[in-house]
């Protein structure tokens, strides 16, 4: 079976292929749940936009008396929901699949017994999460366009990548945390005290200027607010009004991704080495 | 690397977790083509040693060379030539049996069609060809272990590491597994395994080290160890409850060495039958008598004063 005299093969050549194999594994797993997942990624935005955008929106638009200018509530809401939905998927993908690979199925340990390094495992998972977020963001964008919730549908081509960045700004730091966990208990805490409040108070449903002055700075700290505000500026075509703000949003999201990744490299490696 | 160089060379190999020392300065060499075993009870440091050899756990101290390479610098390169069967199962339950093999081959950078070809061949080898399309989860423990062995062979490794390969399996599954491992050995594959079953060590290992409390306490072939640390035969006496304690003085002198276990007395001698006869002459009447050859279990008992499985 083993060719004992064979010379040593090259180490898994460049790093890109090693990380691509991790993506390949996740894609192979995903094939089994593909249909249900795609279906869900259309159903969720339809439900949200119908209930909040049209249901609540018609009420707001009638009562608001031009509070939003010539903007409908549906148009105001859509970019926020896009960013928030991608945040939720990103967070979820960074919790159970990461804990599963390290604790339950232990598939990451199986990979680590091959030429694949802990860093490849982390990067491959981030790449896979990016792909998933692109899928979720794109289907959300299609639904937004179908609802006529955007004036310039072409702007969605830019809003989706921003939403994906927002999702990664959550997913990657959460993945760094997941790699330190042995049980999923911490995840419900993150949802309850982190993601749900952020979802409600980051300008998704109403402008943060409506928040009491004391609380408003907290919204600035919310990564979701940066994503929501930038998506909204893109979809409403107002980026040029405050270009520095747009850059600041990108910088915050980028910083979370980079710092999160550096921490995740360490926590994933430490976990795999501990066994 | 010259052909005489060992595949694994460890000197003063040490693994610490905080204040706890799991492996305490052990030395050993594994030569090409041999089946080398680490025998010892749970917690002796076997798995920690295996994980250091597998380049997934950094060494704390000492030297370790695998395939002539340094695990710190060349971890991925070494791992590309190893086949690992871990103690804790890590098959992917979400994939089929065959998919598990193919994706594993992909981790080594093998082309897809080559992975598929080897997967089919290996499923044949471990007698799982008819289960290829099934998910992993409904498989029995023995089948999963065989699949894990097949998986470890997908990259045609120079060295296979098996951590407790038959722990938790029923006797039939164990024998089937031993048979497959024996075939690998016949093909010249180098095997390194840990076990706390002395029969497994005797069946599979050309050479082994006995580990206890993070250290190596003896090394040699199974027969050498038995010759050195035990007598040729053992007479086992079992007594009715309460009797054993009353016999201390009478048993002395019957054998070269006597071990008193909670449930039986072991009398070590070159001729076990002679011990039995001598005991009867002294008026000692055990409930049951068994005369057998010495095993590695006796070696371990001698070296540590404890049995392998507690």
pLDDT at A71: 86
* Whole-number Å distance between alpha carbons of B68 and B5: 8
Question: Which domains are present in chain B?
Answer: 8-221 (3.40.50.300), 231-293 (3.30.70.980)
Residue B257: closest CA among B299, B287, B215: B299
pLDDT > 90? residue B112: yes
pLDDT > 70? residue B30: yes
Containing H/E element for A129?
helix A118-146
Angle made by CA atoms B27, B31, B34, in degrees to the nearest 5: 115
B237 three-state secondary structure: strand
Burial of B105 (0-12, 13-18, 19+ CB in 10 A): buried
Angle made by CA atoms A140, A143, A144, in degrees to the nearest 5: 85
Count Cβ atoms below 10 Å from residue B187 Cβ, excluding itself: 10
Count Cβ atoms below 10 Å from residue A161 Cβ, excluding itself: 15
ipTM for the predicted complex comes to 0.91
Q: Do residues B165 and B193 make contact, with C-beta atoms less than 8 angstroms apart? A: yes
* Whole-number Å distance between alpha carbons of A3 and A114: 18
Please count the residues of chain A: 275
Would you give the end-to-end CA distance of chain B in angstroms? Answer: 42
pLDDT > 90? residue B4: no
Cross-chain residue pair B84–A113, CB shorter than 8 Å:
yes
Would you give the end-to-end CA distance of chain A in angstroms? Answer: 29
User: B23 touching A, CB under 8 A?
Assistant: no
Burial of A16 (0-12, 13-18, 19+ CB in 10 A): exposed
Dihedral of the CA atoms A192, A195, A198, A200 (nearest 10)?
-70
Q: Which of B32, B95, B108 sits opposite A29 (nearest CB)?
A: B95
* Whole-number Å distance between alpha carbons of A138 and A144: 10
User: B117 touching A, CB under 8 A?
Assistant: no
Q: What is the mean pLDDT of residues B140-165?
A: 96
Q: Do residues A84 and A199 make contact, with C-beta atoms less than 8 angstroms apart? A: yes
Domain ranges in chain A?
35-274
* Whole-number Å distance between alpha carbons of B111 and B116: 9
Q: Do residues A204 and A83 make contact, with C-beta atoms less than 8 angstroms apart? A: yes
Residues 45 to 84 of B: which have CB under 8 A from any A CB?
A: 47, 51, 54, 56-58, 67, 69, 74-77, 79-82, 84
Q: Do residues B147 and B126 make contact, with C-beta atoms less than 8 angstroms apart? A: yes
Which residues, 6+ apart, have CB-to-CB distance to A271 below 8 Å?
A102, A179, A180
Cross-chain residue pair A116–B188, CB shorter than 8 Å:
no
Q: Which pLDDT band, with edges at 50, 70 and 90, does B116 fall under?
A: very high
* Residue found by looking up tokens 């409930």 in the block: B287
* Whole-number Å distance between alpha carbons of A25 and A32: 12
Contacts of residue A115 in chain B, CB cutoff 8 Å? 76-77, 79-80, 107-109
pLDDT tens digits, A127-163: 999 999 999 999 999 999 999 999 899 999 999 999 9
Q: Do residues B191 and B200 make contact, with C-beta atoms less than 8 angstroms apart? A: no
* Residue A8 DSSP one-character state: P
Q: Do residues A8 and B67 make contact, with C-beta atoms less than 8 angstroms apart? A: yes
pLDDT at A15: 58
Q: Which of A13, A18, A28 sits opposite B99 (nearest CB)?
A: A28
Which ranges constitute the DSSP H helices of chain B?
A: 46-53, 71-79, 97-107, 112-125, 141-152, 171-186, 198-204, 222-229, 248-251, 272-281, 296-304
Q: Do residues B127 and B146 make contact, with C-beta atoms less than 8 angstroms apart? A: yes
* Whole-number Å distance between alpha carbons of A20 and B40: 40
* Whole-number Å distance between alpha carbons of A154 and A56: 26
Side-by-side strand order, sheet with B8-17: B20-30, B8-17, B61-66
pLDDT at B1: 43
Residue B108: closest CA among B82, B80, B85, B84: B80
Please count the residues of chain B: 310
B83 three-state secondary structure: strand
pLDDT at B57: 97
Cross-chain residue pair A110–B93, CB shorter than 8 Å:
no
pLDDT tens digits, B246-299: 876 788 888 999 998 888 999 999 999 999 999 999 888 899 999 999 999 999
pLDDT at A67: 60
The two counts, helices (H) then strands (E), for chain A are 13, 0
From the candidates B94, B136, B150, which should be mutated to test the interface with A, based on the most A CB atoms within 10 A?
B94
What residues pair up with B209 in beta bridges, in sequence order?
B38, B219
Per-residue pLDDT in tens (0 to 9) along chain A, 275 residues: 444 444 444 444 445 689 999 999 999 999 988 888 888 889 989 999 999 888 888 888 888 656 667 789 999 999 999 999 999 999 999 999 999 999 999 999 999 999 999 999 999 999 999 999 999 999 999 999 999 999 899 999 999 999 999 999 999 999 999 999 999 999 999 999 999 999 999 999 998 888 888 888 888 889 999 999 999 999 999 999 999 999 999 999 999 999 999 999 999 999 999 98
Q: Do residues B178 and B98 make contact, with C-beta atoms less than 8 angstroms apart? A: no
Dihedral of the CA atoms B193, B195, B198, B201 (nearest 10)?
-10
pLDDT tens digits, B214-254: 999 999 999 999 999 999 999 999 998 888 888 767 888 88
Alpha-carbon gap: B79 to the closest alpha carbon of chain A (Å):
5
Q: Do residues B30 and B192 make contact, with C-beta atoms less than 8 angstroms apart? A: yes
Residues 171 to 210 of B: which have CB under 8 A from any A CB?
A: 184, 187-190
Share of chain B above pLDDT 90, in %: 83
pLDDT tens digits, B53-89: 999 999 999 999 999 999 999 999 999 999 999 998 8
pLDDT at A36: 87
**Inter-CA distances, B148 with A86, A141, A185, B177, Å:** 37, 44, 31, 11
pLDDT at B263: 85
């Amino acid at each position: 079976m083993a060719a004992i005299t064979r010379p040593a093969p090259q180490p898994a050549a460049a790093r890109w292929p090693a990380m691509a194999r991790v993506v390949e594994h996740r894609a192979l797993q995903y094939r089994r749940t593909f249909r249900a997942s795609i279906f869900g990624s259309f159903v969720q935005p339809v439900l949200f936009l119908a209930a909040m955008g049209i249901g609540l929106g018609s009420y707001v638009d009638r009562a608001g008396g031009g509070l939003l200018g010539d903007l409908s509530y549906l148009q105001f809401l859509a970019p926020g929901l896009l960013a928030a939905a991608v945040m939720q998927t990103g967070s979820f993908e960074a919790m159970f699949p990461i804990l599963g690979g390290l604790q339950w199925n232990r598939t990451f340990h199986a990979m680590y017994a091959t030429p694949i390094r802990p860093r490849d495992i982390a990067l491959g998972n981030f790449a896979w999460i990016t792909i998933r977020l692109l899928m979720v963001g794109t289907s959300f964008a299609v639904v937004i366009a179908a609802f006529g919730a955007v004036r310039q549908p072409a702007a969605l081509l830019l809003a989706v990548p921003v939403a994906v960045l927002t999702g990664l700004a959550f997913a990657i730091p959460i993945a760094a945390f997941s790699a330190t966990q042995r049980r999923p208990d911490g995840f419900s805490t993150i949802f309850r005290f982190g993601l749900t409040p952020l979802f409600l108070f980051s300008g998704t449903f109403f402008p943060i200027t409506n928040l009491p002055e004391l609380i408003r700075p907290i919204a600035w700290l919310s990564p979701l607010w940066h994503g929501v505000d930038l998506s909204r500026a893109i979809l409403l075509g107002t980026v040029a009004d405050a270009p520095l703000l747009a850059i600041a949003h990108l910088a915050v999201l980028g910083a979370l991704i980079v710092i999160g990744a550096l921490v995740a490299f360490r926590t994933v490696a430490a976990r795999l080495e501990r066994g | 690397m010259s052909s005489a160089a060992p595949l694994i060379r460890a000197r003063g190999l040490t693994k610490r977790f905080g204040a706890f020392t799991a492996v305490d300065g052990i030395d050993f060499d594994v030569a090409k083509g041999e089946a080398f075993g680490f025998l010892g009870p749970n917690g002796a440091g076997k798995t920690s040693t295996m994980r250091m050899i597998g380049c997934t756990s950094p060494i704390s101290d000492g030297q370790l060379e695998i395939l002539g390479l340094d695990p710190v610098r060349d971890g991925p390169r070494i791992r590309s030539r190893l086949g690992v069967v871990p103690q804790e199962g890590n098959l992917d339950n979400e994939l089929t049996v065959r998919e598990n093999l193919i994706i594993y081959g992909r981790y080594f950078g093998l082309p897809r069609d080559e992975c598929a070809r080897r997967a089919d061949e290996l499923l044949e080898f471990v007698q799982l060809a008819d289960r290829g399309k099934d998910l992993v989860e409904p498989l029995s423990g023995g089948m999963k272990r065989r699949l894990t062995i097949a998986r470890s062979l997908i990259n045609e490794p120079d060295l296979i590491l098996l951590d407790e390969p038959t722990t938790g399996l029923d006797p039939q599954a164990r024998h089937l597994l031993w048979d497959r491992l024996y075939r690998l050995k016949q093909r010249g594959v180098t095997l390194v395994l840990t076990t706390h079953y002395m029969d497994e060590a005797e069946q599979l290992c050309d050479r082994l080290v006995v580990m206890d409390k993070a250290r190596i306490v003896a090394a040699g072939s199974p027969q050498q160890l038995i010759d050195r640390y035990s007598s040729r035969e053992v007479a086992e006496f079992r007594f009715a409850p309460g009797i054993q304690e009353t016999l201390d003085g009478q048993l002395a002198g019957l054998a070269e060495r006597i071990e008193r276990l909670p449930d039986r007395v072991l009398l070590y001698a070159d001729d076990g039958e002679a011990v039995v006869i001598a005991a009867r002459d002294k008026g000692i009447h055990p409930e049951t008598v068994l005369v057998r050859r010495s095993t590695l279990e006796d070696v371990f008992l001698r070296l540590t004063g404890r049995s392998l499985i507690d």
